[in-house]
Amino acid sequence: MIPRYTRPEMGAIWDRQMYFEFQRRVELAAVNAWARDGRIPADEAALLQRASFTLERIDELERTSDHETNAFVDALAESVGPEGRWLHLGLTSSDVLDTGLALQLVASGDQLLERLDDLSQVLTRLALEHRRTLMMGRSHGVHAEPITFGLKLLIWIDEVRRQRQRLCDAQATVSVGKFSGSVGTHAHVPPRVEEWACAELGLTAAPVTNQIVQRDRHAHFMTTLAGIASSLDKFATEIRSLQRTEIREAEEPFEEGRHGSSSMPHKRNPSRCERVSGLARVVRANAQAALENVALWHERDISHSSAERVLIPDSCMGLDYILWLFTNVMRDLRVYPERMRANVDMTGGLIYSQGVLLALVRAGMSRQDAYAIVQDHAGTAWTSGASFRDLITGDSRVTERLTPDDLNLAFSPDPHLKWIDAAYERLGLNEDAAPDAPAR
């Protein structure tokens, strides 16, 4: 991921120095497990804890060996002297690479969970603030019935919670290591050594492997990131639509000194939300490559390796960035309740047509007859701009069946607000609810 779209916290996890540092931890966990098993003298295992490397030395060695792991192990070994012979004992490259990758994915998952919690808190605050902010609900982009801006945000909060749980599940799926040797038979590393080494690293030993940890685990993680990115795309697309000049019910923050266009000084574009949508496409595309990596030859090949070096860091950093970006958009979102209300009133009550229809049905009229009457007046109001309510209350077929109270209720948003209040209760967001982060 290019620096423009990399936050420092996530970038540090995928930095090349840290890439090898995670592998150093893996090698030393194996050393400690072998010492516990009695294969390596305890004093020599202790000396190996100071093993170190430099990127320059690894690169120098790799120019000759053309093998990254061998270059890395050699660099470690020469930093400690004779005790270096115990490094990489019984291991194959994938033991180190896949277990190190698991550590990176766990750290990345923790960072992404923090981002999701931040977003959930911001959305919760906004949802509580706009619990009663009336606005238009739209289907097919056309005015449907009234909702509140809070309801729109409740939908997002519920979705973020689901995505959080999916990420926890995916993180658990990749939180496994392996120290099982060249084709996974444990011929040179007993399972107890694998279990001890994984435990030291905070991982679970994969129950069975060949030369690699199976890539369905990584595909699960990557498709989960793609799903989260898609939710962000959905949320950002909604803000982009609400910011259109013709609607203008909400807009992303526009700080003093910011420019919307190089040529048109009046422009205030939803460019940050557009950036969220654009990078979400990258994360989704990477998930496809992760799925392709599941099918490998026999006990393994390395066709997955080159792809993973690009797609896994890019997706972790890209998703981290757009979570951070969209959370900041929502934290300082500009909301225009007056404009929302004006749009609700724009059609002279047309949006309450279903309420009138159902009131007539409850009063004894057939649904077909009621639908025809209401649709006829709605069509007249739509084309002429006349008040739909005036047309309805001027029709004796309606007024002989419906009382003024019936009509007032039919043309009221109260039934919608009552249901929305219930939705808040179901999500545990009461009037005094504090937007605390969920427990880890």
DSSP label at residue 145: E
d(CA 282, CA 293): 17
User: Per residue in 357-378, is it b (16+ CB within 10 Å) or e — as a string?
Assistant: bebbbeeebeeeebbebbeebb
Q: Please enumerate in sequence order all residues whose Cβ is within 8 A of that of 242, keeping only pairs 6 or more positions apart, or say none.
A: 248, 249, 250, 251
The CA-based angle 422-423-428, given to 5 degrees, is 95
Q: What is the maximal distance between C-alpha atoms in the chain? A: 102
Integer-rounded Cα Rg, in Å, for the chain is 30
d(CA 13, CA 7): 10
If you count them, how many residues does the chain have?
A: 440
DSSP label at residue 176: E
d(CA 200, CA 30): 9
Amino acid found at 26: V
Q: Strand 176-177 and strand 250-251: pairing?
A: unpaired
Q: Please enumerate in sequence order all residues whose Cβ is within 8 A of that of 154, keeping only pairs 6 or more positions apart, or say none.
A: 127, 420, 423, 424, 427, 429
Q: Is 42 exposed, middle or buried (0-12, 13-18, 19+ CB in 10 A)?
A: exposed
Residues forming the active site: 140, 261
Of 114, 117, 224, 228, nearest in space to 173 by CA: 224
d(CA 335, CA 339): 9
DSSP characters for 206-220?
Answer: PSS-SSS--THHHHH
